[in-house]
């Protein structure tokens, strides 16, 4: 089963061809135009500019994939929600035109489900142990899902176990997925971007924060000063039993710290920036990992997954491996096979499109 996939939900014009032999989702082709350089001077994605750039670039990307290859696919998959409306329209329009021209069925795909199942790309699905608990984290969403094989869910799983936490549940391509956690305000990726800007860094911010954090954490200069207490950011876990997130507090703490430094005439040195980045990253990572592991314990997970752009963060993966080994030593921790599969990409949309088509 083969599909052409189109992803234009935000600022990446991505097109790919994905093949499924009922064991492995293979990526036959994957091309993209990234708009990061176009949006950097605005410190974030400008929706009108994003949609215009999709319009300007998408046909070129389609041609580079090859019209002859499109003839061989069984259907076309396209992201239809959620995302920036103007960007989504471009992808949906081109997908509809290709569907009509090549007489191929058109499958609409939920962008979040693409991230949710991105870990299956280039993995043998028979090796995956269920149930799974998945953290999807990016600039626009921060959710926790429970995923199980449909038959296992029906015969072995106690549905009453998630009644108090269940937000949504559906069958999807032979799997049952249940959303049990989400962010109440900002997503982690957005928080990384905003804090990077506060510290004088570029957009997107997760990579710069990670780089600065590697040099921070020593705190030797500030250990006997009041700055040390301000930099030790509080962790907000909300309820003890729930799986909701809140990251607006992190931006507020960093903003308050910077105002205090300004008031006290303390310069924002490179050393201080690195220490702030370190403490900020540790606070966000700790909350995400402990919430994910808490859900893993609650739902008897065999596998913990990290998905979405924030899963590229190496410290997040390291912290999860360490903490899960302590709390759930039998559980396998995974993230997508390649970092490109963590970001917005057409490969994951093609995979989700195939599952939707099977559905």
∠ CA 69-105-24 to the nearest 5 degrees?
Answer: 60
Whether 137 and 276 share a structural domain: yes
| 8 A C-beta contact, residue 180 and residue 165 | yes
Report yes or no on 121 lying in a domain.
no
* 27 or 220, greater pLDDT: 27
Query: What pTM, to 2 d.p., does this model score?
Result: 0.91
At how many degrees (to 10) do helices 188-198 and 270-298 cross? 170
Higher pLDDT, residue 111 or 207? 111
**What are 283-311's pLDDT values in tens digits?**
999 999 999 999 999 999 999 999 999 99
Domain holding 309, by residue range, is 126-335
pLDDT for residue 153 is more than 80: no
pLDDT score for 167:
64
Amino acid 171: pLDDT = 81
Least confident of 17-31, 109-123, 137-151: 137-151
| 301 and 209, same domain (yes or no) | yes
* Residue 117 contacts residue 5 (beta carbons within 8 Å): no
Q: Report, as an integer, the average pLDDT of 5-34.
A: 96
| 186 and 58 both lie in a single domain | no
Which one, of 240, 150, 203, lies nearest residue 40 by Cα? 203
Mean local confidence (pLDDT), 211-217? 90
Return the minimum-mean-pLDDT range out of 144-158, 164-178, 218-232: 144-158
Question: Do 61 and 44 fall into the same domain?
Answer: yes
Q: Are residues 95 and 150 in the same domain?
A: no
Residues 149 and 42 in one domain: no
The domain that holds 105 is classified in CATH as 3.30.420.40
> What average pLDDT score do residues 50-57 get?
96
Positive or negative, the CA dihedral 174, 180, 186, 192 is negative
- Tracing tokens 């069984």 back to the chain, one arrives at 74
In this structure, is residue 276 part of a structural domain? yes
User: Is residue 93 situated within a structural domain?
Assistant: yes
Q: Does residue 156 register a pLDDT over 50? A: no
pLDDT at 223: 65
Strands 303-307 and 332-334, by their bridges, are parallel
pLDDT of 317 over the 80 cut: yes
Same domain, 176 and 105: no
> Average model confidence (pLDDT) for the chain?
89
According to the model, what pLDDT value does residue 36 have?
A: 86
Please give the Cα distance from 187 to 194 (Å, whole number).
11
């Amino acid at each position: 089963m083969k599909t052409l996939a189109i992803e234009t939900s935000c600022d990446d014009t991505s097109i790919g061809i994905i093949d499924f032999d009922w064991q492995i989702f293979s990526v036959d082709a994957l091309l993209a135009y990234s708009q990061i350089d176009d949006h950097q001077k605005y410190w974030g994605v400008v929706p009108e500019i994003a949609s215009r750039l999709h319009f300007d670039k998408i046909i070129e990307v389609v041609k580079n994939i090859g019209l002859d290859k499109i003839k061989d696919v069984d259907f076309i998959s396209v992201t239809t929600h959620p995302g920036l409306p103007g960007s989504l329209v471009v992808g949906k329009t081109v997908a509809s035109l290709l569907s009509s021209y090549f007489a191929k069925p058109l499958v609409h795909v939920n962008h979040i489900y693409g991230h949710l199942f991105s870990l299956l790309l280039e993995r043998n699905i028979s090796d995956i142990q269920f149930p799974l608990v998945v953290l999807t984290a990016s600039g626009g969403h921060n959710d926790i899902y429970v995923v199980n094989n449909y038959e296992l869910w029906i015969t072995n799983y106690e549905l009453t176990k998630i009644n108090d936490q269940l937000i949504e549940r559906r069958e999807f391509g032979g799997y049952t997925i249940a959303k049990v956690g989400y962010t109440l305000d900002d997503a982690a990726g957005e928080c990384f971007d905003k804090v990077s800007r506060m510290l004088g860094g570029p957009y997107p911010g997760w990579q710069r924060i990670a780089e600065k954090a590697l040099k921070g954490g020593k705190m030797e200069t500030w250990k006997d000063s009041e700055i040390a207490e301000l930099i030790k950011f509080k962790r907000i876990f909300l309820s003890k039993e729930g799986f909701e997130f809140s990251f607006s507090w992190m931006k507020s703490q960093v903003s308050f710290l910077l105002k205090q430094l300004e008031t006290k005439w303390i310069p924002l040195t490179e050393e201080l920036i690195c220490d702030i980045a370190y403490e900020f990253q540790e606070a966000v990572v700790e909350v995400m990992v402990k919430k994910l592991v808490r859900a893993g314990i609650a739902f008897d997970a065999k596998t913990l997954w990290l998905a979405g752009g924030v899963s590229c963060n190496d410290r997040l993966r390291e912290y999860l491996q360490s903490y899960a080994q302590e709390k759930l030593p039998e559980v396998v921790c995974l993230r997508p096979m390649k970092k490109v599969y963590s970001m917005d990409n057409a490969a994951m949309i093609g995979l989700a499109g195939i599952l939707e088509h099977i559905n």
